[in-house]
Amino acid sequence: MQRRLANVNGWTVSAAIIMILLFLPNITIVTGIFSPSNENWVHMKEFVLGSFIRTSLILISATAILTISIGLSLAWLITQYQFPLRGFLKWALILPLSIPPFIGAYTYHGIVNYTGVIQTTLRDQFDMVLNPAHFDIMNLPGAIFIYTMFLYPYVYTITRVFLSQQSASLIESARMLGKGPWRTFFQVVIPISRVSIIGGASLVVLEVLNDYGVVKYFGIQTFTTAIFQTWFGLGDIESSIKLAASLMGFVIFILVIEKVLRGRRQYSYSTTKVRPLPLIQLKGWKAGLVTTYGLMILSLGFFIPIAQLIDWMILTFGTIPMDEFLTYVKNSVLVAGISATAIIIFALIVGNFSRLVQGKVAKLLPKLSILGYSIPGAVIAVAVVTAFIALDRFLVPLYQMIGITTTLVLSVSLIMLISAYIIRFFAIGYNSIESGYDKIGTDFRDASRLLGVGVTKTFFKVDVPMLKGAIISGFILVFIDILKEIPLTLILRPFNFDTLSTKAFQYASDEKIMEASQASLLIVGISALAIVVFYKFLEKEPD
Amino acid sequence: MKKALFLVLAFALLVLSACGNDTTTNKTTSNKESKETKETTETNESKEVNLYTARHYDVDDELYAKFEEETGIKVNVIKGEADELLERIKREGDATEADLFLTADAGRLYRAKDDGLLQAVSSDKLDEQVPANFQDKDQMWYGLTKRARVIIYNKETVKPEELSTYEALTEDQWKGRVLIRGSENVYNQSLLASFIEINGEDKAKEWAAGLVSNFARDPEGGDRDQAKAIAAGVGDVAIMNTYYFGQMLNSEDPEEVKVAEGLGIFFPNQDTTGTHVNVSGAGVVKTSKNKDNAIKLLEFLSAPEAQGTFAEANYEYPVNESVEATELLKSWGEFKEQDISLSVLGDNNAKSILIFNEVGWK
């Protein structure tokens, strides 16, 4: 016992350090909640906050329900059944994640608006003029559609990893006990995958809460609008941070509810042999229906917008300077690769700590790291800048010792940007890894420890191989997210540092969506490549 | 599986080592650079200027490259959104590396000045090239290009004679026919801010409320989308910036060109207070370490040569009066501008937001 405690300590210390570093910048924001209410705050409360919050609630609940329905049903079909194109759909269904939602919004608007392909074709070829109101996507349902189509892969990926690693026994037992596929799905699959469903859906909800691009363009006023209105419009960043802090409070509340809901129920591997489920062969119209469903979702979330972007790329090819694009690709891949790797390593350490240490606080603490993901990137950026400038000022004596004469060193380097990514996207990686730890439980680890294998060796020999799926999906999610990230990259980058996403944003924000297609397509291409490499070639799990 | 894991770890290591290398090289260069800055500030011959800009046009990059070619001064750029860049400068305080702040709205320039982030600079060249009403009265910033916020109308359903002023759009005959984007947009905030200055707060609020009651639909999309909505028959008139109209007329997409050709441009308030005009402009940061270079860049950007490029590429009006506008802009004719100090746009910005919220302009 003594020895075990001593060994856990090395992990505990690293986990503690990581968590403190992740929280540090958030302190600037949390303290904002205590700043006094000024007249701007009162005005916001009186005139707009109520309706903004209502809109936000509709937006997040509708998006959550739709992404869960789509993501979970697809994950279930892929892990349970054999049907045409299953192998392709299995990884391709993640692709919509590679399209930044604001680019998706501009693209869909581009397709359906007056000069878009649908209306012009009807007008020019068939002489049909339609009621423009029927083609308006810039409203609340439109925004829900956009978020659903480009964010459902969070739920899909996380639940699919869970279901595919699910020991056959639970579902097989259900099958043997004579439950049909529908009852198995509702009575077994949904309850046992609750953790991963909530994990995926909470990422979706937080992404919707922190996004500003789509709602701004569509003219929908949400809670995020209030944050930016007080900052940009009223020039009152204190009130705006106060609003962001309230948002964080709301997220903490949700997290606690989730923990309570999850309760003490644990589902982990029940036998030593984690066999994948034998796939059930679908035939005839059923197979056709499932394939069609998968292709339909993939078309809406990927093929249709990509076709439009390619069309625009051809239209505008040669009209914008392209000679620097190779540098943008290099920059994008570099920062996303470094940050994603760091996040996965940190998430493994913190996840291991949280699983081994008893007590509610230890379990809840890492969840709080998700706070950074709940508020708009621009606000996080301010917190990170503040923290790094303080750090730089603190380090000035050291800088002088090694002959640097400027005060700002770290905060004008890539280190600030990469740290910001880690703070912001840690939750994405952690969710994936936690769901993996959740699945394997501690029995195998304990057995290994009983056999006298050291903590660290056990971790690498026993846990990491079993976590492989979670590591891969976590890495991909974070990598793609950083590739398309926008406010942090814009605000925190060093001089002369452009990425594909800053380039895409630059054109889109000037209402030049056609010119933004080149950079957008490259983001999609690199993301797709990452997905293909990891899923097709590395994850050779038997189907 | 082992092989897979090995590959993942190998990739991780590779990336990490790349990171290590990269940051060390970065550090050494920044060391070198900072030493250079130190030496050069002493001798006043630094060869750099650090720019924080909220203008994202490709033509800007071309101009910076040309500036470097002509003067040997390298322009280091961080592009971002105006308010976020301002916040970054503010938090960096006197240690900031920023020398020049460039943005596309006079209101933001005012805010930078108001926050004490800019310093007064003067040069004969600047005075000669930038007319007085496009300079800050304390010479803290200088305008570089200008754009007008005008009325665009459907040539088939609206006769230009029916149009007169911004105020007239609140009359009953325009009920359900007016298009304009949302109030989060800074161009609308500056427009209302100018009315607060010219007509007083009450009248301005009346105007905003009247316009809202004539909206063809809840505001959505950007400026170009308002023009398209006219073509689609959603409304008949739209308030938008001139350069967006220019961009549409010259779009790569023939459908957009078709839309723009069906629309007319009208400069409102010609017989009264003048058309609303805003500027792109720049100011030297208070703690600038390369002040001389920053002034040189300002002079370069307002000189006739750069002004031509500025205006041509983005369909904006040059501030430098010795430079002629492009053929397209000339074809729209000369017009009377609002006669107000642009600083008031920033001064009244918060008031406009409050009004927008109160009258329910989304």
CA gap A537, A371 in Å, rounded: 34
Tell me which residue of A278, A258, A342 sits closest to A18, measured CA to CA.
A342
Q: Which of residues 64-83 of A touch B (CB under 8 A)?
A: none
Which residue in B has a C-alpha nearest to residue A227's C-alpha?
B184
A27 in the same domain as A139: no
Q: Which helix (H) or strand (E) holds B282?
A: strand B276-284
Q: State yes or no: pLDDT of B68 exceeds 60.
A: yes
A186: exposed, middle or buried (Cβ count in 10 Å: 0-12, 13-18, 19+):
exposed
Could you tell me if residue A542 is inside a domain?
A: no
Does residue A504 lie within any of the structural domains? no
In a 10 Å sphere around its CB, with 0-12 CB exposed, 13-18 middle and 19+ buried, how is residue A177 labelled? exposed
A109: nearest CA partner in chain B: B221
The per-residue pLDDT for B11 is 46
Task: Give yes or no: residues A312 and A344 share one domain.
Answer: no
CATH architecture of B46-145+278-323: 3-Layer(aba) Sandwich (3.40)
Same domain, A115 and A249: yes
**Res B88 pLDDT > 70:** yes
What domain range includes position A102?
Answer: 41-317
What is the full DSSP assignment across A63-89?
HHHHHHHHHHHHHHHHHHEE-TTHHHH
Average pLDDT of chain A is: 85
Report pLDDT for A273.
52
The SS3 assignment for A276 reads coil
Residue A72 in tokens: 């979970």
Q: Which residue of B has its CA nearest to A341?
A: B12
Residues A430 and A457 in one domain: yes
Q: What is the DSSP string of A284-352?
A: HHHHHHHHHHHHHHHIIIIIHHHHHHHHHHHHHTTTS--TTHHHHHHHHHHHHHHHHHHHHHHHHHHHH
Q: Is the Cβ pair B78, A217 closer than 8 Å? A: no
pLDDT at position A278 is 77
Element (H, E) at A449: helix A443-450
Which of B7, B252, B258 minimises the CB distance to A514? B252
Domain match, A115 and A16 both:
no
| Contact list, A472 vs chain B (CB under 8 Å) | 8
Residues B143/B281, Cβ–Cβ less than 8 Å: yes
- Average of per-residue pLDDT across A293-301: 97
CA distance B354 to A507: 30
* pTM, to two decimals: 0.85
Which of B79, B223, B362 minimises the CB distance to A221?
A: B362
- Whether residue A534 lies inside any domain: the answer is no
One domain, residues A291 and A371: no
pLDDT tens, B180-229?
999 988 899 999 999 999 999 999 999 999 999 999 999 999 999 999 99
Please check whether residue B68 touches A, CB under 8 A. no
Which phi and psi (to 5°) does residue A501 adopt?
Answer: -70, -35
**pLDDT over threshold 50, residue B304:** yes
Q: What Cα–Cα distance (Å) separates residue A462 from each residue in A454, A468, B217?
A: 11, 11, 61
Cα separations in angstroms, A39 against A22, A238, A408, B154: 33, 12, 35, 42
List the one residue out of A380, A330, A336 whose CA is nearest residue A498.
A330
Higher pLDDT among residues A267 and B99, named by residue: B99
Nearest partner of B356 among B152, B261, B215, B158, judged by Cα? B215
Across residues A119-146, what is the average pLDDT?
86
pLDDT value of position A2: 45
Given a contact cutoff of 8 angstroms between Cβ atoms, the answer to whether B243 and B150 are in contact is no
**Those residues with Cβ within 8 angstroms of residue B101's Cβ, 6 or more apart along the chain or in another chain:** B51, B52, B53, B85, B86, B89, B109, B112, B117, B118, B282, B283, B285
A123 at interface of B, judged by CB pairs closer than 8 A: no
Domain boundaries, chain B: 46-145+278-323, 147-277+333-359
With contact defined as beta carbons under 8 Å apart, do B62 and B247 qualify? no
Any domain includes A157: yes
CA dist B197 to B166, B204, B276, B350, Å? 15, 9, 12, 13
What's the mean pLDDT when you consider all of chain B? 87
Strands (E), A5-115: 81-82
**More reliable by pLDDT, A267 or A204:** A204
Judgement on whether residues A197 and A110 belong to the same structural domain of the protein: yes
Where do the H-state alpha helices sit in B262-332? 291-302, 304-314, 327-331
Domain match, A369 and A286 both = no
- Stretch among A445-449, A511-515, B42-46 having the lowest mean pLDDT: B42-46
Chain centroid offset of residue B79 CA: 13
> Smallest CA–CA separation between B271 and chain A, in Å?
31
Among B31, B79, B184, beta carbon nearest to A225: B184
Question: Is residue B353 pLDDT above 50, yes or no?
Answer: yes
pLDDT in tens, A253-281: 877 777 776 655 555 555 545 566 678 89
Mean pLDDT of B121-138: 92
d(CA A515, CA B282): 26
The whole-number pLDDT of residue B22 equals: 40
How many other CB atoms are there within 10 angstroms of residue A188's CB atom?
Answer: 18
**Would A175 be classed as within a structural domain?**
yes
A496 with B76: Cβ contact below 8 A: yes
Cβ contacts of B92 on chain A, cutoff 8 Å: 385, 389, 408, 411
Helix (H, G, I), strand (E, B) or coil at A234: coil
CB-based contact, B257 to chain A, within 8 Å: no
Per-residue pLDDT at B34: 44
- Interval B350-355 mean pLDDT: 92
- Report, as an integer, the average pLDDT of A335-339: 96
Do the Cβ atoms of A463 and A440 come closer than 8 Å?
Answer: yes
Domain B147-277+333-359 top-level CATH class? alpha beta
Tokens of A379: 């606000």
pLDDT at B190: 93
Region B287-300 average pLDDT: 95
Tell me if residue B284 falls in helix, strand or coil: strand
Model pLDDT, residue A268: 56
Element (H, E) at A383: helix A377-401
Residue of chain A whose Cα is closest to the Cα of B12: A341
Q: Which band of pLDDT confidence, cut at 50, 70 and 90, is reported for residue B157?
A: very high
Give the CATH number, domain containing residue A442. 1.10.3720.10
Per-residue model confidence (pLDDT) at position B31:
43
Reduced to 3 states (helix: H, G, I; strand: E, B; else coil), residue B265 is: strand
Chain B CB contacts of A386 below 8 Å:
91
Answer yes or no: are the C-beta atoms of B238 and B262 closer than 8 Å: no
A282, A317, A352 — which closes off a domain? A317
Question: A65: Cβ–Cβ under 8 A, 6 or more apart, which residues?
Answer: none
Is some CB atom of chain A closer than 8 A to the CB atom of B42?
no
CA distance B89 to B92: 5
From the CB of residue B239, how many other CB atoms can be counted at a distance below 10 Å? 22
What residues contact A204, with CB distance under 8 A and at least 6 apart? A63, A64, A67, A147, A151, A152, A154, A155
Q: Are residues A165 and A66 in the same domain?
A: yes
Is A528 part of any domain?
no
CB contact under 8 A, B19 and A408: no
In chain B, the residue whose alpha carbon lies closest to the alpha carbon of A115 is B255
> Token pair of A186, please?
């509702």
Query: Average pLDDT for residues A489-501, to the nearest whole number?
Result: 92
Q: Which of A387, A539, A520, A536 is nearest to A104 (CA)?
A: A520
Mean predicted confidence (pLDDT) in A361-375: 73
Q: How far apart are CA A527 and CA A316, in angstroms?
A: 23
User: What would the pLDDT profile of A171-200 be if each residue is shown by its tens digit?
Assistant: 777 777 777 778 888 888 888 888 788 888
Please tell me the total count of domains within chain A. Answer: 2
Residues 203-262 of A with CB under 8 A from B: 216-219, 221, 225, 228-229, 231-237
- Among B228, B229, B236, smallest CA distance to B154 is for B236
Cβ under 8 Å to B: A residues 394-423: 402-409, 411-415
- Using CA atoms, how far residue A481 sits from A100, A164, A391, B47, in Å, is 8, 23, 27, 37
- pLDDT of A6 strictly over 50: no
- Residue A443 located in a structural domain: yes
User: What pLDDT shows up at residue B35?
Assistant: 42
Is A532 a member of any domain?
A: no
- Indicate whether A25 and A139 sit together in one domain: no
